[in-house]
Structures are given as C-alpha cells and as structure tokens.
Amino acid sequence: MRWYYKLLIGLGFATVGYIIGNIIPLEFLRPIVVSSEIKSADYYQIIIGTISAFVTFIAVIIALFKEDIRKFWEYSKICVSIPNESFVEVLKTNTSDTPNDSMFLESEKYNCKIQVKNSGNISALGVEMYLESLTYSCVDYPTPQEIVTTGSPIIWNQSNESRINLQPEGSKRICIFELLAPSSQSSPSGSNTNIPATLIIAGIQINSEQRRGKWIGTFAIFTSNSKPVRFRLEIDWNGRWEKRVTEMRNNLTINLIN
C-alpha cells in the first residue's frame, strides 16, 4: 500500500473519532480529578508510561511505513543515456584481396543502442523495455501519423531475453534502431529487384512508403522495485543512404529526449 493511502486512512480514522467525540455526549465518562500531591513512585510510573506510549507509537509508524522508509536508503534507479555517437556502422565482411584497404569497406547497416544503467544501491529486478507509441511525420504529412506497435518487450542485446536484472551501478545496452543497407533480390524469372534501405525501430519494420521524414518513439522501462522511466527517441532521416558513417551523419540524426 502506498504511503499516501496509509496517511489518508489515518486521517479518516482521526476525523471520525473527532466527530464522534463532539456529537455523542460523553460527559459521564469524564473522570473526577482531585488535586493532590503524588509520590515519587507514581511520578516515575507516569514517566515510564509516557515513554512506553511514545515507543509504541513509533513502532506503529515504522510498521505502517516500513517499506516507504526503507526506500530512502535502499533503492534502484534507472537512468537512460545515448552514446556520444548516436548511431554506429556495422561493416560488411570484406571479400576483396586487400582486406586492409578501406576503399572496399562499406556499411552493412547502422544501429543505435541505448544504455540503461542502475544508479541505485540495490539490484533493479525484472527490467523490461517497451515501445509504447510511434509516430511518423514528413513535409507532405506534417500531422503525426500513428504506427501500430507490437506491445511486446524489446529483446536485450546478446542475451536473447526480454527481462533482466541490473546490479547496482550495472549497465546494459539495447538496440532500438536499425537501418539496413539497400540490396537486390533475384526473382524466378532471373531479374533482380532492388530493395531500398530498410528502417527498423524496436523490431518494427517501417513501411517502404515512409522512406523519409521524422519518427518519434515513446519508450517505457519497467522494473519490479522502482518507478517506471519513460523517454522519447527522435529519428530524422532524409531517405538517402551512404556507405560510410561519416557521410551518413549528414542524412540521419537521432536524439534522445528524456
């Protein structure tokens, strides 16, 4: 139960007790107090009773708000960042006779990996990332168009799992964007079909008709023992493909919006 629910319940009981005490005549229950000197034993008994009542009150407060109090010292905190190079290239396998000749190197694809870090002092349990929404807009269609998402968690890199645990100060990278190089595919008739560069966001292959424009994805990270974290990824691509990342930076930009 959240702390503010417990506080509201306590205030509710206090309010009901106050109303009952003012509406119902309880004068006959009021004790008759006679002024007299007390003995030392009675004085110490009053002090001990007051201390016992205070300790009992503190124990009740700790029992009710134990988990909320513990969070001030023991907590997990998810932080999201993007590397300085917002996207990197993955080079094709070099089949030339001069493997060290950079003239024959070209990109097979570009990808963007987000770093997820646990800045808390206890492990973040059951960390999952989802793509909650994805929109597309361009010069011809300035009003953002919704793209249907799968609703499934994204797979973490090299683990083939959708849910992981992150140790304190531990981090993990997850690929949420890929741009595959153009290719050609042969048909049974013997002709080749040119396939343009393919954009994939969080496992969703973007329609070939949406080849240039801006995509904004809203992502959410959930854990079992911390608050959800949401961020947005903004992708701006003019539809052009370059074989190396140096030239590609003029055509593609990726920004993380927390």
64 torsion bin: left (phi>0), alpha (psi -120 to 50), beta (else): alpha
Splitting the chain (258 residues) into consecutive groups of 10 residues, what average pLDDT does each group show?
69 75 64 72 82 85 72 83 87 63 77 92 93 93 90 82 91 92 75 84 87 93 92 93 92 89
- Report d(CA 122, CA 126) in Å as an integer: 13
- Partners of 220 in the β-ladder: 130, 230
Domains of the chain, each with CATH number or no CATH:
1-23+47-73 (no CATH), 78-94+104-257 (2.60.40.10)
Query: What pLDDT shows up at residue 101?
Result: 54
Q: Taking Cα atoms as reference points, which of 117, 114, 115 lies closest to residue 77?
A: 117
Query: What pLDDT shows up at residue 85?
Result: 80
List pLDDT tens digits, range 73-124. 788 999 999 877 889 999 987 655 555 555 568 899 999 999 999 998 899 9
Query: What pLDDT shows up at residue 4?
Result: 65
Quote the pTM value: 0.70
